[in-house]
A and B are shown apart, each in its own frame.
Chain A
Amino acid sequence: MSNTDFVLAIEDLTVSFDGFKAIDNLNLYLDRGELRVVIGPNGAGKTTLLDLICGKTRASAGSIKFKNEEMTRLPEHIRVRAGIGRKFQTPSIYENLSVFKNLEVSFPRGRGVFGALGFRCDDEVRAKVDEVAGMIGLADRLDMEAGLLSHGQKQWLEIGMLLMQDPELLMLDEPIAGMSAKERELTAELLLRICRNRSVIVIEHDMEFVSRIAHKVTVMHQGKILAEGPMEKVQADPKVIDVYLGH
């Protein structure tokens, strides 16, 4: 397949660790503006899939096209600059820096060595920080050291750091793990808001949460795609039921 409208097109993707195929001949297509949730039992290869897309792990075979551009051989930072953002499972923020600094550092300017040396925090940066901070509900916490935030706030901050870069594809690995019910609610709203002008892939276990946000659900099992489609359809799929209940 050459040029498509998909923001992300993954074809025949395989990665093996010493013979063990963590991802096995996988195909996946993602539309612009789509919010896709990937579910599956432990060890299905969900996190590995995100690792492959963002470049943390190198594929053994297959192709990953982002906006029709081949990504498989590119280093991580180039993929990020192309518009792929990734949030890790455990909140990964700079604990010693203030919330403001965390966001400022993520602003996509001055990314080279000398660019970083000459970087100045001007009005444009401040405006963007304020905007994002408002979105993630941390506008009144800008001067706080990030390490002092609550667990949920840390998760939001990391999402905010990604939003600073306006990525076209956002990948979130279990964003609500460890959150209170109230925080989950807020997170769901946040996700629905931010997917308006970008595509989002979310890995999640919480089915209630999934059904609340997902446009489409992909079920993975043993490195392969077991089922794909709207939540209700997938939930009714006997293969899926077998995988979840058979174990």
Chain B
Amino acid sequence: MNAIKNWLMRGGYGSFVILALILVVVFPLAMDIFRLNLVGKYLTYGFVAIGLVMLWGYGGVLSLGQGVFFGLGGYAMAMFLKLEASDPESTKIQSTPGIPDFMDWNQLTALPLWWEPFKSLPFALFAVVAVPVLLAFVVSFAMFKRRVGGVYFAIITQAVALILTVLIIGQQGYTGGVNGMTDLKTLLGWDIRTDGAKYVLYFVNAGLLLGAILLCRWIQLSKLGTLLLAMRDKEDRVRFSGYDVSMFKVFAFCLAAGLSAIGGAMFTLQVGFMSPSFVGIVPSIEMVIFAAIGGRMSLVGAVYGTLLVNFGKTYFSESFPDLWLFLMAALFIGVVMAFPNGLAGLYESHVKPWLARRRSAGAPATLPVPPAPAGHAAPVKAEPALSARVSGQTA
């Protein structure tokens, strides 16, 4: 017992276990499949948020173009699903049956060559991660080698997001344009639109997200994590200790890109389509705020931040659509001005000392684990939104 307890305390895994319980047990029991599917969708943004924790919180590099990777991952998945949905039988109404509908609308008469490999699921899954990571590598290698950092990097990632959006929209014969790729139906014959499939996908998604958190936590606890933190404060010292600082940043950027891409692919599977509205600048910045609200240093906090903002968005846009933007604005400004470390920081600075005071008599004092992910601060905060949504649903 004590061994487990120690393990939980040491790595800050306690909050992880709580999150896992919430995602895997509480949500599925408390929500109907419609709400659960929504949560699943939010959690796909969680991948981006934890990627940003690694990149921004740990690496000190802010990217305003994470939507690019989310989108690329999503598109790679969507291409496979779209091809499967476009068998000659169900597209016989087209002038060229057997190719995706949007190609037919744009007078393409044959499947473009670079689409061919996406007929294979293993290739598509490989591409989901490989394409975004490769792009991330090319972009970041060039820039970090030349010491482009901070604000400049953020602005260039924005430009990349803009370029990709314009490209996707402009090349609609190959990409589906503004509409994106819609009407995705089956994965190797398995209908992803049924309630059963949505449950399965939700658990796969939650599992992957928890796995991703563990992976990132492991990286944080490795020397690489120490170096990332060290670089953020004393970049020159790290460089003059013989480390190739730029490669560490490239790694963080590629890691964040790969995670975002997995999120994108899971988004496509759960929502049933992919569109360029995720690639652009606005969604990319929104994803940054998910991480900022949760706490840019806390993996678990970032997931809570994502859930909280999205629950808020859904709730407010249903009830007070006009207020939503004001609330979003207030969140941005408030978090930046008052709680730079987000909910996790709030938990560290207020809730934890309070809990400690209450317990101070019995339990031994806990060692402060500097960047420990926050635990129960967020769910407490999220409760009003949650209960409003959950009430009356069948369990």
Name A residues whose Cβ lies closer than 8 Å to a Cβ of B.
Answer: 54, 56, 75-77, 80-81, 85-86, 88, 92-97, 101, 104-106, 108, 110-113, 116-119, 158, 161, 165
Contact = CB atoms under 8 A, between A and B. Distances in A.
B212 interface: no
B237 A116 contact: no
Given A94-B230, A95-B233, A97-B226, A86 B240 contact: yes
A77 B223 contact: no
Given A56-B236, A165-B241, 20 more contacts: A77-B239, A86-B240, A88-B236, A92-B236, A92-B237, A94-B237, A96-B233, A97-B229, A105-B223, A105-B227, A105-B230, A106-B241, A111-B244, A112-B244, A113-B247, A116-B243, A117-B222, A119-B222, A161-B237, A165-B242
A43 B245 CA distance: 29
Contacts of B241: 80, 105-106, 161, 165
B12 to A, nearest CB: 16
A21 to B, nearest CB: 24
Given A113-B224, A116-B223, A94 B233 contact: yes
29 contacts: A56-B236, A56-B240, A80-B242, A81-B242, A88-B236, A88-B237, A92-B236, A93-B234, A94-B229, A94-B230, A94-B233, A95-B233, A96-B370, A97-B226, A101-B226, A104-B223, A108-B242, A111-B243, A112-B247, A113-B247, A113-B248, A116-B222, A116-B224, A116-B243, A117-B219, A158-B237, A161-B237, A161-B241, A165-B241
A55 to B, nearest CB: 9
B240 A76 contact: yes
Contacts of A113: 224, 247-248, 250-251
Contacts of B239: 76-77, 80
Does more than half of chain B's interface fall in helix, strand or loop, or is it mixed?
Answer: helix
Contacts of B224: 113, 116-117, 119
Contacts of A158: 237
B134 to A, nearest CB: 16
Given A116-B224, A119-B222, A111 B233 contact: no
A75 B233 CA distance: 21
Contacts of A75: 244
A77 B242 contact: yes
Contacts of B237: 88, 92-94, 158, 161
B233 A77 contact: no
Contacts of B250: 113
A78 B240 CA distance: 9
Interface of B: 219, 222-224, 226-227, 229-230, 233-234, 236-237, 239-245, 247-248, 250-251, 370
Contacts of A116: 222-224, 227, 243, 248
Contacts of B243: 77, 111, 116
Contacts of B245: 77
A-B residue pairs, 9 tightest by C-beta: A80-B242, A119-B223, A116-B224, A92-B237, A113-B251, A116-B223, A77-B244, A94-B230, A81-B242
Contacts of B251: 113
A97 B227 CA distance: 11
Contacts of B223: 104-105, 110, 116-117, 119
Contacts of B226: 97, 101, 105
Given A94-B234, A119-B223, A80 B248 contact: no
Nearest to A92: B237
Contacts of B234: 92-94
A95 B237 CA distance: 12
A106 B237 CA distance: 10
A108 B243 CA distance: 9
A86 B240 CA distance: 7
A158 B237 CA distance: 9
Nearest to A102: B230
A177 B57 CA distance: 34
B50 to A, nearest CB: 17
Residue from the set B219, B227, B243, B247 with the largest chain A CB neighbour count within 10 Å: B243
Residue from the set A86, A94, A96 with the largest chain B CB neighbour count within 10 Å: A94
Nearest to A82: B242
